[in-house]
Amino acid sequence: MLEVTPFVDQVTCIKTASPLGDQAIMWVCAYLVGDVLFDAGCANAISELQEYSKKRSVRRVYVTHNHEDHYGGCAAFVPKAEVFAGPVTVKSVYKPYPLPQFFQWVWGEPKPVKEAHKFEESSISVGELNFEVVDLSGHCEEMFGFWESEKGWFFSADAVPLPSRKQMAMPEENIPKMIARMKEIRDLGVKVLFDGHLGPIPNPREHIETRINYLSQLQTQVLSMVETGKTIPEIKTELGFPEPWYLPNTEGRFAIEHLIQSLLEDSV
């Protein structure tokens, strides 16, 4: 599935997803700014992305991080476009990691991209726009955002959690670092947050603070529990977070325990 929505003259939101009937399982957003694409969507929309690429001039693709929903569509834009990614992420673009069956259904298996380039620049230009490259590691080992200070635009990938009350995590997620990154984004005075799943969010301060406050309070609660001698399984039971139906199908990629462990053991 693919939906294309112009936001302003210079920015187009490109939403991709796998269909479930006539609905999307979960949208993921890429953004076209001039002839530069930030992220590339999911592999299960590759045919629609290929058709889209025939109609629009895309010269560069910047991949924010190495999760399949963000780089899975890269193959639709080469060889017309050059693909750029961080030193860790570029390895996945060249040789995508194997996915559990559930995630093949949700996002699709990315096709390898034969030529991709490491980018280590501190800024990139798109016409008259100048984007600072911002370290957003926390959601995973390596993730980058793009900040256009004159416009007040921040392309945040997955730095701001999708749910307002995050109740599970992946093993690579560092929740205290995610909280710190969100504070850094909040303090920039962002006018529009271009989120990796929710689309453009105007005036996003409250949106970000809701997530900061929730995770900060949850960390205080979890630390208090462990001081009384509770184990991670006991903390999980006391928190009482509901387990969604699909959780066993993720084969450990998502778990409530990962969230608790990160709040206890990780640091900024």
pLDDT digits (tens, 9 = 90+) for 173-190: 999 999 999 999 999 999
pLDDT attached to residue 120: 86
Quote the pTM value: 0.96
Q: Enter the CATH code of domain 2-265.
A: 3.60.15.10
Beta bridge partners of 116: 83
Question: In this prediction, what percent of the chain has a pLDDT beyond 70?
Answer: 100
Phi, psi of 115 (to 5 degrees): -135, 115
The model's pLDDT over 30-44, given as tens digits with 9 standing for 90+, comes to 999 999 999 999 999
Residue 138, pLDDT above cutoff 90:
yes
Phi, psi of 86 (to 5 degrees): -65, 165
Residues contacting residue 188 through CB under 8 Å, at least 6 positions apart:
147, 149, 154
Band of residue 9 on the pLDDT scale cut at 50, 70, 90: confident
The model's pLDDT over 117-133, given as tens digits with 9 standing for 90+, comes to 999 899 999 999 999 99
Residue 22, pLDDT above cutoff 90:
no
pLDDT attached to residue 133: 97
Omega of the bond leading into 110 within 30 degrees of 0 (cis): no
Q: Which DSSP symbol is given to 164?
A: S
CA distance 33 to 9: 9
**Can you point out the beta strands (E) in the chain?**
2-8, 11-16, 19-20, 23-24, 28-33, 36-38, 60-63, 82-85, 116-118, 123-126, 129-135, 144-148, 153-157, 192-195, 199-202
Band of residue 87 on the pLDDT scale cut at 50, 70, 90: very high
Phi, psi of 3 (to 5 degrees): -130, 135
Residue 146, pLDDT above cutoff 90:
yes
Whether 71 contacts 93, CB under 8 Å: yes
Using the CB atoms, write b or e for 181-219: b if 16+ within 10 Å.
Answer: bbeebbeeebebbbbbbebbbeebeebbeebbebbbebb
Whether 198 contacts 29, CB under 8 Å: yes
The model's pLDDT over 195-221, given as tens digits with 9 standing for 90+, comes to 999 999 999 999 999 999 999 999 999
Band of residue 268 on the pLDDT scale cut at 50, 70, 90: confident
